[in-house]
Amino acid sequence: MRKKSREMGADWALEVMDKAPYITASMADGDGMPYSVPLSLARTDEKTFYFHCATEGKKLDILREKPRVCLTAVSKCKPTVGPKDGSFTLEFKSAIAFGKAEIVADDNEKREALRAICQRFLPNHMDAFDAAVARSMSRTAVVRITLTEPPVGKRKQYDANGDEMKYGRME
């Protein structure tokens, strides 16, 4: 990271990922062509994320051959004018993580992963979860991404006095 003063720790980065409306997963195909797709991921512990998709498609083809992924998330992004110098800038909270993807074969793990995804995105509709899973389990793939190193967060944020909050300073 070029600006170490904006670096934030793993717990902070995981919180950014938990609050982001989606997380972008980037990978490279067999020819080295980059492929990046925004996904609805749910985290079940400090290093395990899940997403669901159709049982066939480009991302699954790539992940079968090359399972390494990079996850990126932004949970706050606000264009602003620098309070002290008038520069055009951007306040943000972001996170990046690297991991290995694996298509889940075990039905119990698939069901629990789908439950975590539903709990994150539709917590008020969990009463419909069992019926939805019964209808769609056979045509749904679930992918587990296990982080291979702790995630890193980065932010640019100003305090009430217009000073940039550096070195992990919190309010």
pLDDT, mean of residues 157-170:
76
Distance, in Å, from the CA atom of 97 to the CA atom of 115, rounded to the nearest integer, reads: 23
Distance, in Å, from the CA atom of 149 to the CA atom of 99, rounded to the nearest integer, reads: 7
Q: Which DSSP string corresponds to 79-93?
A: EEE-TTT--EEEEEE
User: Which pLDDT belongs to residue 166?
Assistant: 75
Q: How confident is the model at residue 164 (pLDDT cuts 50, 70, 90)?
A: confident
- State pTM to two decimals: 0.89
User: Which pLDDT belongs to residue 112?
Assistant: 98
Distance, in Å, from the CA atom of 163 to the CA atom of 82, rounded to the nearest integer, reads: 9
Whether the predicted pLDDT of 115 surpasses 70 = yes
Q: Could you say which DSSP state residue 13 is in?
A: H
Whether the predicted pLDDT of 108 surpasses 90 = yes
